[in-house]
Amino acid sequence: MLRRVKSLVAKQRLNSISELIPLLAHDEDFRTQSLNHLMVNVSSLFRDPNVFAKLKQEVFPYLTSFARLSIWVAGCAEGLEAYSLAILLEEEGLLDRTQIYATDINSEVLKQAASGVLVDSLNADDALRYNESLGKSSLSDYFVTAYGKQKLKQELLAKISFEHHDLTQQAPFLNAQLVLCRNVLIYFDKTLKNKVVNTLWDSLDETGYLVIGTKESIEYLDIDYDYTVTDEKTRIYKKSDLK
């Protein structure tokens, strides 16, 4: 965080961190820009492929029992996680019945995400992670190239709704069968984690699944629901009856 703040000071050509204070207090545009600068938006297609493979094996069979599916990708950054999910759902014949809500607090990354255009071209590592996620086809089949950039095919992009949402302040999206919130909790302290994780559980239907980052955990938090651990390594949890 200190590194990010210092880089913000340098970017603004200020002399010290304290010089940020009046700007943050009085200039709303500056506040938004600064927030966007402070956020870490690192992501990749099929990040932690073992998680996607596990989702396909353990969670997709559950999803097939629903006529309509809502999936929430919270803290979606530039959308790569939502694109990955859409591709795998399409391969299992589930995408037609699915609405994916992909949300983030950073409006800049959301614009990029909603465009469907990849910032970095597909490479061999993306293809490898797609295969390890048990992808069935060739990753490039899901993208079209225009003006030297690759863009997610429109029929997949149309199934994802990108919306601004602050996990720490706003109500949950309701009745989801699956919620992914990976590599976001890591930035919050315990109080905020408690609040956010309960928001995520609230958003799930009675027996839905929650996926967090592989380096995150919820075991020590105060959670208002009972749940079971579907897979410890990939941090996939399943909600059970109300406490």
By the criterion CB under 6 A, which residues form the site for ligand SAM? 39-43, 47, 75-77, 81, 104-106, 109, 165-168, 182-184, 187
Q: How far is CA 97 from CA 100, 158, 174, 177, in A?
A: 10, 12, 17, 12
Q: Residue 81 Cβ, how far from ligand SAM at the closest point, in Å?
A: 5
Nearer residue to ligand SAM within complex by CB, 97 or 188: 188
Nearer residue to ligand SAM within complex by CB, 49 or 75: 75
Output DSSP code: residue 55: I
Q: Residue 173 Cβ, how far from ligand SAM at the closest point, in Å?
A: 12
Nearer residue to ligand SAM within complex by CB, 46 or 143: 46
Q: Residue 28 Cβ, how far from ligand SAM at the closest point, in Å?
A: 18
What is 109-154 written as a DSSP string?
HHHHHHHTB-SS---HHHHHHHHHTT--S-GGGGEEEETTEEEE-H
Neighbour tally for 92: CB within 10 Å? 14
Nearer residue to ligand SAM within complex by CB, 69 or 211: 211
CA distance 181 to 153: 24
Q: Residue 3 Cβ, how far from ligand SAM at the closest point, in Å?
A: 15
Q: Residue 58 Cβ, how far from ligand SAM at the closest point, in Å?
A: 19
At 41, list the tokens. 């938006």
Nearer residue to ligand SAM within complex by CB, 41 or 217: 41
CA distance 67 to 94: 9
Residue with tokens 């304290």: 18
Closest listed residue to residue 36, CA positions, set 4, 79, 73, 12:
4
Nearer residue to ligand SAM within complex by CB, 19 or 166: 166
At 30, list the tokens. 């500056």
Q: Residue 80 Cβ, how far from ligand SAM at the closest point, in Å?
A: 6
